[in-house]
């Protein structure tokens, strides 16, 4: 039997120390050993039973229940004051056989894989690598669990690919303590696995585009994500270049994504006419405190997987004494005017080395990100056409009303089909400021005030935007969600209320969901409710 250890706690914090938040119980489930239960399916189903037992226990105590993985989110999205469940040890992967594939599936059987919730991006990448396969994209690093990634919309800068949730093609949710509360969701227009597979994991199948898209970026509130089916692809290499280019050229590329007609080219990455090829990845780094006519950019081009290639790990990493960083933060809080100078001095540690070139797999390129002390990140999604204007507004705010101890970057992500994806524009430019966490002083505004002003500035300049679910923001800003998502937010609530009983909707809610007004109970006519969660054939 899977075994859960319950720890009595008083508080819980994110990895980057953005809390702390109050907590009663932390629960950690470890699976039955292979030696005692050799079948992976049996151990997977055994774990599902254990989760249902925990859900019942929470329900009987009138408590909330929320799963989390690597606690990388900086917002309070993962937090629940009553019971939090650490699911990282739930890391089975189930084999998908040709007979498991749906008869109408458009997916190549060899690209379909099923992973339990607690598998990290790194574990999944290794498992796929053993089959000569790769994920299509990841975040900038590899430590997040797959369930955490899709619940919060983790993205990289794959401008024609999308975010992590965009290659998830099936979701196994546990939505309550009863036997029919294990469901397997897919899109009805793009089925992947057949009913026989769902039977193996003791789930009832619902194929419904609307429901699937709503649950895909479910903010941890659409039940317990127990497993996901993903579509992988053949392993590939990424050739990575770091360059410093004219900032107008860099920003024009951000606005147009027109690499073919740009002045920017890299030798060997051009077509027969000498025009620039479209990269897989494009990122701009901006130190808003220096008036440099050039920006550091990072581009990556996809290449077929061939060996040999140089060892991408053949480097020595050096880290600064942490006490030194804390000292700099303390000085910055007292003398904010020193922040631009400190950032300039730390540029070598913060920015990639100009003219650096590497080649490696996706797994090797987006590598480990060690904990480096308390950190913040604010990340806004805008349409690429508005990217330069939005960057200028946010950078000016940071300079004029700060300075804030962080620097900006821009990444670019293809639109997601998920109802509540913040990557909602055809190509979304994610403008992000990352830095060290500071405390409000008489001379330096708080993070909440800063993020509040960012929203105000974008709104007052009529720039439509979204905010990364896992990043810092003033989430209590009035009407924020309806401003960003409009009807999609209403639709998301309807699907959630149709799938979950009122009791379970309350159990899977948290303060974050209440703050953004997505936890409300929506009463729908029974016919409409049935329609929303009907399996469409």
Contact residues for another protein, defined by CB under 8 A: 7, 13, 15, 17, 26, 28, 31, 34, 40, 43, 70-71, 86, 88-92, 116, 120, 122-123, 126, 313, 319, 321-324, 364, 368, 370-371, 373
Least CB distance from residue 135 to another protein, whole Å? 15
Residue whose pair of structure tokens reads 């470890």 in the numeric block: 30
Pair 63, 24: CB distance under 8 Å: yes
State whether the Cα torsion 475-477-482-485 is positive or negative. Answer: negative
Beta carbon nearer to another protein, 361 or 472:
361
The closest alpha carbon to 123, from 100, 101, 147, 107, belongs to 147
Beta carbon nearer to another protein, 84 or 205:
84
Least CB distance from residue 315 to another protein, whole Å? 11
Least CB distance from residue 88 to another protein, whole Å? 5
Distance of alpha carbon 483 from the chain centroid:
21
Beta carbon nearer to another protein, 89 or 264:
89
C-alpha triplet 449, 455, 461: angle, nearest 5° = 130
Pair 185, 206: CB distance under 8 Å: yes
Q: Rounded distance, CA 49 to CA 53, Å? A: 6
Pair 177, 458: CB distance under 8 Å: no
Least CB distance from residue 345 to another protein, whole Å? 17
Strand order in the sheet with 294-304: 357-361, 236-246, 294-304, 281-286, 406-414, 427-436, 375-383, 466-467
Least CB distance from residue 193 to another protein, whole Å? 20
Beta carbon nearer to another protein, 314 or 523:
314
Least CB distance from residue 1 to another protein, whole Å? 14
Least CB distance from residue 148 to another protein, whole Å? 12
Least CB distance from residue 92 to another protein, whole Å? 5
Q: Rounded distance, CA 193 to CA 177, Å? A: 25
Beta carbon nearer to another protein, 46 or 385:
46
Least CB distance from residue 35 to another protein, whole Å? 12
Beta carbon nearer to another protein, 93 or 195:
93
Strand boundaries in 106-151, DSSP class E:
112-116, 133-134
Beta carbon nearer to another protein, 139 or 336:
139
Beta carbon nearer to another protein, 159 or 325:
325
34-57 burial, b for 16+ CB within 10 Å, e for fewer? eeebeebeebbbebbbbbbebbeb
Residue whose pair of structure tokens reads 């397997």 in the numeric block: 184
Beta carbon nearer to another protein, 33 or 486:
33
DSSP string, 352-404: PPTT-EEEEEHHHHS------SSEEEEEEEEEGGGHHHHHHHHHHHHHHH---
Least CB distance from residue 218 to another protein, whole Å? 22
Tokens representing 86?
């650490």
Cα distances from 399 to residues 14, 143, 336, 396, 453, in angstroms, run 28, 32, 11, 5, 13
Pairing of strands 83-86, 25-30: parallel
Beta carbon nearer to another protein, 119 or 472:
119
Pair 102, 193: CB distance under 8 Å: yes
Could you say which DSSP state residue 199 is in? H
Beta carbon nearer to another protein, 70 or 157:
70
Q: Rounded distance, CA 431 to CA 152, Å? A: 17
User: Which backbone phi and psi does 19 adopt, to 5 degrees?
Assistant: -100, -135
Least CB distance from residue 517 to another protein, whole Å? 30
C-alpha triplet 374, 282, 315: angle, nearest 5° = 60
Least CB distance from residue 214 to another protein, whole Å? 29
Beta carbon nearer to another protein, 100 or 123:
123
Beta carbon nearer to another protein, 322 or 440:
322
Reduced to 3 states (helix: H, G, I; strand: E, B; else coil), residue 123 is helix
Least CB distance from residue 122 to another protein, whole Å? 5
The closest alpha carbon to 68, from 40, 26, 18, belongs to 26
Bridge partner residues of 519 (DSSP): none
Least CB distance from residue 331 to another protein, whole Å? 14
Beta carbon nearer to another protein, 318 or 442:
318
Tokens representing 20?
């702390």
């Amino acid at each position: 039997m899977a075994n859960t250890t319950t720890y009595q706690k008083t508080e819980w914090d994110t990895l980057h120390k953005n809390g702390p938040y109050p907590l009663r119980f932390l629960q950690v489930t470890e699976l039955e050993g292979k030696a005692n239960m050799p079948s992976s399916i049996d151990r997977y189903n055994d774990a599902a039973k254990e989760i249902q037992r925990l859900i019942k226990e929470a329900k009987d105590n009138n408590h909330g229940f929320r799963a989390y993985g690597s606690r990388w989110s900086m917002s309070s999205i993962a937090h629940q004051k009553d019971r939090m469940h650490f699911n990282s040890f739930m890391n089975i992967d189930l084999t998908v056989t040709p007979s498991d594939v749906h008869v109408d599936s458009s997916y190549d059987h060899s690209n379909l894989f099923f992973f339990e919730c607690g598998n990290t991006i790194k574990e999944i990448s290794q498992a796929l690598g053993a089959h000569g396969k790769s994920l299509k994209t990841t975040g900038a690093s590899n430590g997040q669990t797959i369930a955490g990634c899709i619940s919060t919309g983790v993205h990289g800068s794959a401008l024609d690919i999308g975010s992590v949730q965009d290659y998830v093609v099936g979701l196994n949710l546990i939505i309550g303590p009863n036997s029919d509360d294990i469901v397997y969701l897919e899109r009805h227009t793009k089925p992947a696995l057949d009913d026989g597979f769902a039977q193996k994991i003791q789930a009832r199948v619902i194929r419904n585009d609307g429901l699937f898209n709503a649950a895909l970026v479910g903010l941890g509130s659409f039940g317990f994500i127990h497993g996901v089916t993903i579509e992988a692809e053949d392993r590939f290499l990424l050739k990575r270049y770091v360059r410093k280019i004219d900032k107008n050229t860099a920003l024009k590329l951000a606005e147009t994504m027109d690499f073919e007609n740009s002045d920017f080219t890299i030798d060997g990455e051009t077509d027969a006419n000498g025009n620039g090829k479209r990269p897989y990845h494009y990122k701009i780094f901006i130190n808003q405190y220096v008036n440099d006519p050039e920006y550091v950019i990072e581009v990556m081009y996809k290449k077929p997987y061939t060996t040999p290639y140089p060892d991408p790990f053949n480097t020595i990493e050096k880290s600064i004494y942490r006490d030194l960083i804390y000292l700099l933060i303390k000085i910055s809080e007292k003398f904010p005017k020193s922040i631009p100078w400190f950032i300039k001095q730390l540029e070598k540690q913060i920015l990639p080395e100009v003219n650096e070139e590497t080649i490696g797999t996706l797994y090797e390129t987006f590598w480990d990100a060690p904990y480096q002390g308390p950190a913040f990140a604010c990340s806004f999604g805008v349409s690429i056409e508005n990217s330069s204007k939005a960057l200028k507004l946010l950078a000016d705010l940071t300079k004029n009303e700060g300075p804030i101890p962080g620097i900006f970057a821009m990444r670019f992500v293809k639109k997601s089909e998920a109802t509540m994806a913040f990557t909602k524009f055809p190509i979304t430019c994610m403008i992000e400021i990352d830095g060290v966490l500071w405390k409000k002083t008489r001379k330096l505004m708080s993070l909440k005030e800063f993020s509040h002003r960012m929203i105000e500035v974008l709104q007052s300049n009529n720039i439509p935007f979204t905010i990364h679910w896992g990043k810092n923001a003033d989430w209590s800003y009035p009407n924020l969600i309806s401003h960003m998502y409009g009807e999609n937010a209403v639709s998301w609530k309807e699907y959630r209320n149709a799938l979950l009983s009122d009791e379970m909707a309350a159990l899977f809610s948290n303060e974050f969901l209440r703050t953004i007004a997505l936890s409300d109970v929506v009463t729908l006519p029974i016919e409409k409710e049935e329609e929303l969660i009907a399996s469409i054939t």
